[in-house]
């Protein structure tokens, strides 16, 4: 569902106050956070979607990697997960088994366990997980606590939505598709563990609302940001496919919702599409003070994580985000 429709629904729902609920759906953060004692909180998130690739094992890995990412974005550790699966009644059980196998392997690698789940019969396949994590209260990282002067560090390349769309249309190369799959199945665990050492200001993971949508959430209508396109990590082929208009419906929804908030100083439709492109299991977008940014980038790269300094947070301007 697009951000405009989602926000319009959520703001009308009745809310119950609980002093232990530190983060709920009245915020734009990545997951719910509930305090369980004086020093710790649990992080709760859920995500599921239909297959975006044809291989059921790879789909299971992608869906699980995507589902656990919110825990890592908030500085937490994955502890427990429950499968959520919709599957045709007479569907091939080998497909079902491979989806679950992929998910199981990812949760194990994320440091958690799968304790069960729920399955329903449906005409089409959908898979994901409800995930629980734990975090120390003094280590909780929210997405909307940026500061003016912070640098923005992105830990995965952009373009997976465009590449998958192009591949499914028979236009993307196998090599570029494999690069997108590798990105979508790479956990944000290492990036999260590294960033926690640096006292970062804020963090989110880049998923369905695209880079610009999630960055706008981070600004919380209190700050603005400048993004430099020549610093963006982009998966090979994504820009060329966008030039051929091999884009996504989700990207168009993001454009419609965000375009009045973005000041493009570039004349480049394909690059705009990459910035609006919904990412499945995208990277972390970290806001960190200027004096720590270089050290964070250096250590992330030493640990094998993509790390590009793509922009800065500024005081609030006419537009939420300027792209140059």
Per-residue pLDDT of 279-313, as tens digits, reads 999 999 999 999 999 999 999 999 999 999 999 99
pLDDT of residue 274: 97
Q: Mean of the pLDDT values across residues 40-47? A: 97
Q: What pLDDT was estimated at residue 14?
A: 77
pLDDT, average across residues 235-261: 95
| pLDDT reported for residue 120 | 96
Q: Tell whether the model's pLDDT for residue 2 goes beyond 80.
A: no
What pLDDT does 16 receive? 81
Tokens of 119: 């399955």
For 24, the token pair is 């709920």
* Residue 25 reports pLDDT greater than 80: no
Whether the CA torsion 263, 247, 217, 75 is positive or negative: it is negative
Selecting from 3.30.470.10, 3.40.50.1820, 3.90.650.10, 4.10.93.10, what CATH number does the domain 151-323 have? 3.90.650.10
Question: pLDDT per residue over 173-229, tens digit each?
Answer: 999 999 999 999 999 999 999 999 999 999 999 999 999 999 999 999 999 999 999
Whether 164 and 242 have beta carbons less than 8 Å apart is answered as no
CATH topology for the 15-139 domain: 60s Ribosomal Protein L30; Chain: A; (3.30.1330)
Q: What is the pLDDT of residues 45-81, one digit of tens each?
A: 999 999 999 999 999 999 999 999 999 999 999 999 9
pLDDT at 28 over 90: no
- pLDDT tens digit string along 74-124? 999 999 999 999 999 999 999 999 999 999 999 999 999 999 999 999 999
Q: Which residues contact 96 (CB under 8 A, 6 or more apart)?
A: 56, 85, 87
Q: How confident is the model at residue 26 (pLDDT cuts 50, 70, 90)?
A: low
Per-residue DSSP letter, 213: H
Residue 305, pLDDT score: 98
pLDDT in the model for residue 9? 78
- The predicted-structure confidence for 124-170, as pLDDT tens digits, reads as follows 999 999 999 999 999 999 999 999 999 999 999 999 999 999 999 99
- Listed by start position, the domains of the chain span 15-139, 151-323
User: Measured between alpha carbons, how far is residue 245 from residues 234, 258, 271 in Å?
Assistant: 17, 19, 11
What sign has the CA pseudo-torsion 182, 185, 187, 188? positive
Place of tokens 């965000």: 258
Distance in angstroms (rounded) separating the CA atoms of residues 278 and 208: 4
Reported pTM: 0.93
């Amino acid at each position: 569902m697009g951000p405009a429709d989602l926000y319009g629904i959520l703001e009308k729902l009745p809310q119950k106050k609980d002093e232990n609920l530190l983060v709920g759906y009245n915020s734009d953060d990545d997951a719910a956070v509930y305090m369980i004692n004086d020093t710790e909180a649990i992080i709760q998130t859920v995500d599921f979607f239909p297959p975006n690739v044809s291989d059921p094992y790879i789909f299971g890995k992608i869906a699980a990697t995507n589902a656990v990412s919110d825990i890592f974005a908030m500085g937490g550790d994955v502890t427990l997960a429950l499968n959520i699966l919709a599957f045709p009644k007479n569907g091939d059980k080998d497909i079902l088994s491979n989806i679950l196998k992929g998910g199981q392997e990812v949760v194990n690698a994320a440091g958690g366990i799968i304790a069960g789940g729920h399955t329903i019969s449906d005409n089409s396949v959908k898979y994901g997980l409800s995930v629980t994590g734990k975090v120390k209260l003094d280590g909780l990282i929210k997405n909307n606590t940026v500061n003016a002067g912070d640098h923005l560090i992105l830990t995965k390349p952009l373009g997976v939505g465009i590449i998958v769309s192009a591949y499914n249309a028979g236009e993307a190369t196998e090599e570029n598709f494999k690069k997108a799959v590798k990105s979508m199945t790479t956990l944000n665990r290492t990036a999260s563990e590294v960033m926690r050492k640096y006292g970062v200001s804020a963090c989110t993971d880049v998923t369905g609302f695209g880079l610009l949508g999630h960055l706008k959430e981070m600004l919380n209508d209190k700050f603005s940001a400048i993004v430099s396109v020549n610093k963006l990590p982009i998966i090979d082929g994504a820009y060329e496919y966008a030039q051929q208009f091999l884009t996504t419906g989700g990207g168009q929804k993001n454009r419609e919702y965000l375009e009045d908030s973005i000041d493009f100083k570039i004349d480049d439709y394909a690059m705009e599409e990459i910035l609006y492109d919904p990412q499945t299991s995208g990277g972390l977008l970290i806001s960190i003070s200027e004096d720590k940014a270089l050290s964070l980038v250096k250590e992330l790269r030493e640990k094998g994580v993509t790390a590009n300094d793509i922009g800065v947070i500024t005081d609030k301007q006419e537009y939420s985000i300027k792209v140059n």
